[in-house]
Structure 1
Amino acid sequence: MKLIVDGIIENLQDNGGCTVYFAQILSFMQNNKIDLNYIRFKDTQGHIPLFGENTQVNFQAPKWQERWRDVNLQQVTNDTVFHSTHYRLAKQKVKTVTTVHDFTYELYRKGPAKWMHSWQKFRAIRNSHLVICVSQNTADDLMKFCPIDPSKIRVVYNGVSSDYYPLDNTEQTNEVVFIGARGWYKNFTLAVQTLKHQPDLTLSIVGGGKLSDEELQLLEATIPGRYEWLGRLTDEQLNKLYNRAHCLFYPSSYEGFGIPVIEAMRSGCPVIAVNVSSIPEVAGSAAILTQQADVASFNQAFSTLDNQQVRSDIIQEGFQQASRFSWEKCYQDTLAVYQELDAISL
């Protein structure tokens, strides 16, 4: 089998979730000396490591509107498998797999951005021989928004880095962690409003870009002096934060998977989240899940976490739940999809 990967994602985001996904899978592939042909475009940050004697890098200059174009492959053979990092198809006839992470555009965006994204995504899904979904919830959403033959769908869960683990002798703080994007369904405003009723706790905000003027006004008006934007953290820094924090507060109303939930659990950090989309699938019974995304429900969850026995039980269950997920397992399951495609005839 020869795998060709279209690396366009490196031109579309700065080390976001999709980039991490492919970086992890391809690192395992290269360590296992599987033939990889990677298409890398100029002006990328190079967040996907490429190495090894079995890896060939095909450097290309991006054309105008490159992200929407089909990919022109070279030297396609009967054992070639094609995987785009962002919903693109090949010009040539080739065995194709597409990974679908979520349906946030379809649920929360409007106008041309949504139309173009959905057109490209649905076209890739319908013309792929197999489709990987990162959770059963994403697979269910796929069948709602872009129905295909269910036999083409493979659920392969995301992993979690081994850089997240409990540290010895960590002094606990009153920090509540909010991580990632803050717009739309992420419910950042609800998180801030909830902290207003938790005067002994502070809000540590990770990633998501600098705080906007509107967000700063909200924070100053609601929890003045009890918040800090920490910027982007390394895995090591984030692990330390999880270890010392009171909890991860993840009030999102929709997630294709929700990697921070597993990161926190693996670090021994309790999780408060909402019982929607993929969250219950990923968190299991190892988190405090609210039935609604509202201040009253979240405050009740914080009150529940104040019980030290509940807190201890949640942390221990979190370790067990997190052990179900790893990037190595994600790689092995993805490799099985590639091998399944390799065995078919076009």
Structure 2
Amino acid sequence: VLKKYNVDLFVSPDGYLSLNTNVPSLQVIHDLNFEHFPNFVKENHAKYLRKYFPMFARKATRIATVSEFSKNDIIKTYDADEEKVDVIYNAAHKAYKKISNEERETIKNKYSEGNEYFVFVSAFNPRKNITNTLSAFKLFKENNNTGHKLLMVGEKQYWTKEMQEAYDSCASDVILTGRLNVEELSKVMGSASVLVYASKFEGFGIPIIEAMKCGTPVITSNVSSMPEVALDAAMLVDPNKPDEIANAMSEIISNSTLRNELIEKGLKRSEFFSWDKSAELLWKSMLKILDDGKG
């Protein structure tokens, strides 16, 4: 196809390239989670990614990725030329914004029987730290006399026995919504007391920004890209310590000063990210290839 249409440049938003073409290419790599946590990916998929993505990275004329963390990871893991890798941050959909108290009550009545709730948003797989998130919520419930629920938005992509056991231990207070469209999800995010997003590994972590734009405080992990994205506008926790996650949940709920500070910092931090800015930087990456006479 590339030869047939005399293509000047091939842009791969998911990182897959042809190894049998001389057409210049811009490879987008979101993260290398499959290199660091291959057991979190289905075995055949992990084998394919770990075999071919180093080849794709060598083949690519340039690489774009979504954080400084991922850039450094690509350089180190694939021995890539630092000058070849551009950072283009992700952003959040414009639907994510603060909503009225009336809308919040409507959403809470719809999903959590009118109760305040924590929200988690992601595909359900081990990398997203489902087990420790559920264990942390159970600890929170044991240590706090509140009616808070845990709303988990997403699909069971890779559901394990450990996840099921953790879910069973607090199922009466956990609501699994399945996937939601962006308009509904933005309202669910904006109605939550806190976003709990203590993932084990991210190249960026878009839900962090989505929550911040909604004025929802964020708990996220102190590993990989998440500190870079959140800066001081979220509570950072060790994703491997459910008690630390639970303590952060308790602190935000009980400390209104901290809560308000996180909301204000989050709103300000979220302004840094926009898809318009991302599109402009991606275009500049494309022009670097074409202007170098390689297109």
TM score, norm. by length of structure 2: 0.86
Amino acid corresponding to residue 201 of structure 2 in structure 1: Y
Aligned counterpart, 1:245: 192
Partner amino acid, structure 2, of 1:269: T
1:227 aligns with 2:174: yes
Pairwise CA distance, 1:73: 3.3
Residues 121, 197 of structure 2: 8 Å contact kept = yes
2:4 matches 1:74: yes
CA–CA distance in 2 between the matches of 1:293 and 1:207? 21
Deviation at 1:72, TM superposition (A): 4.5
Matched, 1:149 2:58: no
Which structure has the higher relative contact order (CA within 8 Å, separation 6+)? 2
Corresponding residue of 2:22: 93
Alignment of 1:97-246 (within 5 A): 97-110=26-39, 112-169=44-101, 170-171=104-105, 173-199=115-141, 200=146, 201-209=148-156, 214=161, 215-220=163-168, 222-246=169-193
- Secondary structure in 1 matching 2:94: coil
2:283 corresponding residue in structure 1: 335
Q: Aligned pair in 2 of structure 1 residues 181, 276: CA closer, same or farther (>3 Å)?
A: same
Does the C-alpha gap of structure 1 residues 99 and 115 become closer, same or farther in structure 2, counting only changes over 3 Å? same
Question: Which amino acid in structure 1 is aligned with residue 9 of structure 2?
Answer: V
1:238-269 deviation digits (Å, cap 9, x = unpaired):
11111111111111111010000100110111
Change (3 A) 1:195 1:126: same
Quick check: 2:124–2:159 contact (8 Å CA) kept in 1?
no
Cα contact 2:205–2:229 (8 A) shared by 1: yes
Aligned partner of 2:268 in structure 1 is 320
Gaps of 5+ in 2: 109-114
TM-score, normalised relative to structure 1 = 0.74
CA RMSD in angstroms, aligned pairs only: 2.0
Assess, with a 3 A threshold, how the Cα gap between structure 1 residues 189 and 93 changes in structure 2: closer, same or farther. same
Q: CA–CA distance in 2 between the matches of 1:208 and 1:147?
A: 35
Change in Cα spacing, 1:106 to 1:162, as seen in structure 2 (3 Å) is same
Question: Deviations along 1:174-218, whole A, 9 cap, x unmatched?
Answer: 211111123223211111111112222211110133895844553
Q: Which residue, 236, 241, 255 being the options, matches 1:294?
A: 241
Secondary structure of 1:162's match? Answer: coil
Bigger drift between 203-212 and 237-246 goes to: 203-212
CA distance change for structure 1 residues 115 and 83 in 2, over 3 Å: closer, same or farther? Answer: same
- List per-residue Cα deviations over 1:85-144 (Å, max 9, x = no partner): 332126432221101101111111155432321222111111111110111111111122
Structure 2 CA distance for partners of 1:123 and 1:233, relative to 1, 3 Å? same
Structure 1 gaps, min length 5: 1-70
Residue matched to 1:345:
293
Give the distance between the partners of 2:9 and 2:157, measured in 1 at CA: 40
SS in 2 for 1:225: helix
Identity of aligned residues (%): 28
Amino acid in structure 2 at the alignment position of 1:330: S
Distance 1:106 1:117 in 2: 8
Distance 2:160 2:22 in 1: 50
Q: Structure 1 residues 90 and 109 mapped into 2: Cα distance closer, same or farther (>3 Å)?
A: closer
Instruction: Indicate conservation of the 8 Å contact 2:19/2:56, yes or no.
Output: no
**Distance change in 2, residues 1:93/1:210 (3 Å):** closer
Q: How does 1:14-53 map to 2 (within 5 A)?
A: none
Aligned to 2:250: 303
Q: In 2, are the aligned partners of 1:73 and 1:91 still within 8 Å (CA)?
A: no
Which amino acid is the alignment partner of residue 321 of structure 1? R
Contact 2:149 2:173 in 1 (8 A): yes
d(CA) in 2 for partners of 1:292 and 1:121? 27
Which structure is higher in helix share? 2
Deviations 1:276-307 (A, max 9, x none): 10001111111011145312211221232120
Q: Secondary structure at the match of 1:325?
A: coil
Note closer, same or farther for the CA distance 1:211–1:119 as it changes in structure 2 (3 Å cut).
closer
SS at match of 1:124: helix
Q: Please give the secondary structure, in 1, of the residue aligned with 2:17.
A: coil
Moved over 6 A (4+): none
